[in-house]
């Protein structure tokens, strides 16, 4: 077995499949397996930083979406829903939890009194600003071992791949 440092767990899995099923081309399995494993590793690292701010990935997504929408940091529940791949029931639950924590509030929509807007509270704005600052620093840490050219190449390749699905 090859013991080079650049071998990973996926290489071992692929070697086993090649041994057991040499008739299969398992190249795509390697690519998708690595993406899946990276997602898990990166997800754990991101969740650790968000937890330091009393958030998780789901709550951060809602707060960050409101924050990046610009002042007055409010959106309709439908507009929030468009940015996330969740059901309306899941979105309502997220908003309820954030409202209980004092991070968002439901306010009457000034353009349509029959509907509400979800808005960041002052506390929500403070929490999300601190969390996004730490999140961006963490993201830089997570890609720091890749050189600038490698990061740009990986970004270009992933953008092309993702565009196929979106």
Per-residue pLDDT of 134-162, as tens digits, reads: 999 999 999 999 999 999 999 999 999 99
Q: If pLDDT is split at 50, 70 and 90, which confidence band does 5 have? A: low
Q: Considering the domain boundaries, does residue 3 fall inside one?
A: no
pLDDT bracket for residue 88 (50, 70, 90): confident
Query: What total number of domains does the chain contain?
Result: 2
Q: Find the Cα–Cα–Cα–Cα dihedral 110, 114, 115, 121, rounded to 10°.
A: 50
At residue 88's C-alpha, the angle toward residues 87 and 94, to 5°, is: 95
**Are 148 and 88 members of one domain?**
yes
Is there a single domain that holds both residue 113 and residue 86?
Answer: yes
Residue 132 inside a domain? The answer is yes
Q: Are residues 77 and 154 both part of a single domain? A: yes
pLDDT confidence of 112, banded at 50, 70, 90? confident
CATH number, residue 106: 1.10.10.10
Q: Residue 68 falls within a domain, yes or no?
A: yes
Residue range of the domain that includes 77: 56-165
Residue 70 lies in a domain: yes
- What is the predicted pLDDT for the residue at 124? 98
């Amino acid at each position: 077995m090859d013991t080079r440092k650049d071998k990973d767990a996926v290489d071992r899995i692929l070697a086993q499949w090649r041994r057991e099923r040499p008739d299969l081309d398992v190249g795509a399995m390697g690519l998708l397996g690595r993406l899946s494993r990276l997602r898990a590793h990166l997800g754990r690292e991101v969740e650790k930083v968000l937890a330091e701010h009393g958030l998780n990935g789901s709550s951060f997504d809602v707060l960050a979406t409101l924050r990046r929408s610009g002042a007055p940091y409010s959106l309709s529940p439908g507009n929030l829903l468009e940015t996330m791949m969740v059901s309306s029931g899941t979105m309502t639950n997220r908003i309820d939890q954030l409202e209980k924590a004092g991070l968002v509030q439901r306010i009457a929509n000034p353009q349509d009194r029959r509907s509400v807007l979800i808005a960041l509270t002052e506390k929500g704005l403070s929490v999300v600003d601190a969390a996004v600052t730490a999140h961006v620093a963490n993201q830089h840490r997570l890609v720091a071992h890749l050189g600038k050219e490698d990061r740009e190449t990986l970004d270009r390749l992933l953008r092309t791949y993702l565009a196929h699905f979106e």
